[in-house]
Amino acid sequence: MIWEIVKMSFESLLAKKTRTFLSMLGIIIGVATVIAVFAVGKGAQESVSAQFQNLSANSILIMPNRGRGFTSSSKLTTADAQLLLSADHIASAAGAIQGNSSVSYGSIDKSYGIVGVDQNFLSLSNLTVTSGRAITSEDVSGKTEVAVIGSTVAGDLFASANPLGEMITIGGKKVEVVGILKKLGSRVGMISIDEAVLIPSSTAEKSILGSRGQVMITTTVDNVNNSGAATSSITTILRTEHKLKSGQEDDFRILDAGSLVASAQESAKTLSALLTAIAAITLLVSGIGIMNVMFVTVAERTKEIGIAKAIGGKQSDILLQFLLESIILSMVGGVIGMIIGQAAIPIISYFKFMTMASSWTGPILGFSFSVLVGIFFGFYPAFKASRLDPVDALRSE
C-alpha cells in the first residue's frame, strides 16, 4: 500500500513537470547557497590560519599609524627593531619594509612584492634558504644590492636555470640574486613570501621603496604571559625615540599576534553565520512556495480526493500521499542543490574569485534543512486534503 502511495506521488509530480521544477528551484538555490556559505566560511578560516601560521602566539607586530586623529607621518623605521631588543621581555626583533615594484630579467618583466629585511627576519619568520645565502648584517650595514627571491619568482624569471649570481632589475636598480627561499605556500603576516623579493632593509629604504614602503617590525616575547608588559615597554621606547610629546598620539600601532589571529577568525565566523542566515531565509521562502503549490494541487484534485474517500481511502493515506509529494520535492531539490553547490566550489577556487574549501557540514545541513522544510510546509496542505468531506469534494468542479 505504501509503495502504491509513493508511486502515485511521483506520477502526480511528473504530470506537472514545469510546476514541479519551479517548486524545487527555491530548494535547489537554497541548498547550493548553504554549501557555498560553509565553503566560504571554512576557506576564510583556512586563509587566516595560513596567513598567520608563521607567526607564533608570542609575536608582537609594530606598524606605522597614519590617518585621521594621528600624526600625519610616522617616524617608524626598520632600524627601530634594534632598539626594541632592549625592551622588557623581548627575546628577538626584526624589521621589514614592504611594497611592490617591477622586477625584470632579460625580456621578462613582472610585478612582485619587495621586502626589505634585516639579518633576523628569516629566522624570526621561520623561513629557510634552499640555495645560496640569506641577508646578513653586513648587507644591511653596507646597503649592498643583493636579493633573496621566493620560489615563484625564481620559477617565473629563470624557469629551470640557476638564478644564483644573476642580476635582476628592481625598479630600475640592478641587484644580484644571492639566495632562493624554500617554497612556503602561505603568507608571513601580509607578505606572500613565494612571490616576494627580499633585499636588505637599508637598500630598500634608500633606493628602491623609500617613503612608499610600509614598515613592519616583528618581535617575540620571552613568555606569552609577558605580552602586556612587553607592549608597554615597546611603547615607552618608541615614543622616546620618535620624540612624541605627552599629549601626542602614537605614530605606531602595536598588534598582539594571538589577538590578531583570534580577531580575524572571529570575523570569518561572523561572516559565515551571516551568510548562513541568508541561505536559511532562502530555504524558508522556497518552503512557502512549496506550500502554495501544494494548496493549488489540493484545489485541483479535490474531486480525485472525494473519489478516493468514497471508495474507502483513509485520511492517513491521503495525508501521506500529499505529504510525500512535498517531501519528494524538497529531497530531489536538495540533492540537485548539493550537486550544484559541491561542483561550484572547485570551479570558483580554480578561477580564484574567492577562497573556498569543501566541508561536509554544508551538504549535510543543507539537505537536512531542505527535508525539514518539505515536511513542515507540506504538512498543512496535506492535512487539509485529508480532512475534506467526500460529498463536498465530489460536488466540486
The pLDDT tens digits for 219-240 are 888 877 787 888 889 999 998 8
Q: What's the confidence (pLDDT) of residue 76? A: 84
> What's the CA gap between 329 and 327, in Å, rounded?
5
Which alpha helices (DSSP H) does the chain contain, by range?
2-15, 17-52, 80-83, 121-124, 137-142, 151-158, 201-203, 227-241, 257-300, 302-310, 315-350, 361-386, 390-395
pLDDT score at 122: 84
Which three cell numbers mark 186?
602561505
* The pLDDT value given to residue 132: 92
Q: Which pTM does this prediction carry?
A: 0.54
Structure confidence at residue 197 as a pLDDT band (50, 70, 90) = very high
Res 69: pLDDT? 44
Domain ranges of the chain: 2-50+263-395, 77-241
Nearest to 180 by CA among 224, 111, 122, 108: 122
> What is the pLDDT averaged over residues 305-334?
79
- Whole-number average pLDDT of the chain: 80
Q: Which cell is 249 given?
A: 598620539
78-92, 295-309, 325-339: least confidently modelled range: 295-309
* Per-residue pLDDT at 168 exceeds 90: yes
